[in-house]
Structure 1
Amino acid sequence: MTVLDVHRDEEALTFTIVAEFDAPPARVWQVWADARQLERWWGPPTWPATFDRHEFRPGGRSAYHMTGPDGTKAHGWFAFTLLDEPQRLEFDDGFADQHGEPVTTMEPTHGIVTFEAVGDRTRMTVLSRFTSIDQLQEMAKMGMEEGLRLAIGQIDGVLAEPS
């Protein structure tokens, strides 16, 4: 398992997960930049993702859905706010309707992903920032920690294949 640390900080309204991979930062960056690679790990193994749109650029948007074992679809979106290849990316992340449009029932989170060379490996830190303690606790109840841990655990398989 590539995940090194998981930390939920209710006072700071953050959730952080740290993982390391046997690849340089530029290669790990590609698992975010390329929609086909992102599909192979975003979401836990039993809820694979399909990206219908992936505009990986500042101001760009992504629309995706994850399909559960019973065929249930959960829709989401990203809005990229910063890309500093291959060190850092930032994006807003929220739930969407069946057309990929943001829903207003829950505020989006803000994600900050950093990539740091550690010898010939990469340490990737994913920090999610929440707008309230209620939002953080609701996402925790929905299985965010375990889901993200399982999702990131799939990146090694993606990295093992040619990009």
Structure 2
Amino acid sequence: MTLNTVAHLNFRGQARAALEFYQSVFGGQLTLATYGDFGMPTELPDATKVVFGQVVADNGFRVMAYDVPGQDTPATPAAPTTRRENGTTITEERFFLSVRGETLEEVGALWERLAEGATIIEAFGPAQWAPAFGMLSDRFGVTWILDVAAEYVPA
């Protein structure tokens, strides 16, 4: 049996924009289905919202998302509750999305695109445990950790 764990993000009217943005950052195939596609009458306000969406990329990136029916997000997401202090992460969030790559060039390029419109929590740069690490809350309020895998040296 093979299992995959995929983050499933819940939005309030922004799933399409978020998935399109993530596709622009990570590449891959975007799949969207609306409530209307599943039979909701088109005159209802939620008919054009995403009931199922995903981005699947050959590089291993996967994310799913949908819009919670009947709810819309304010124009700007809430300020992130995560901060870095003295090398530690202080947060009230239940999860972060983590992206780890093999080279500084590949992860740095993803960081630059994902950081557009984001709140930087920890700037992308060298860390004690990795060649590079950074943390941000993107324009949709999702907190991401990006890092470059450290070379494993057996003890």
**TM-score bucket (shorter structure):** under 0.3
| TM-score between the two structures when normalised by the length of structure 1 | 0.25
Structure with greater helix percent? 1
| TM-score between the two structures when normalised by the length of structure 2 | 0.26
Higher relative contact order (CA 8 A, sep 6+): 1
Higher CA-based Rg: 2
Structure with greater strand percent? 1
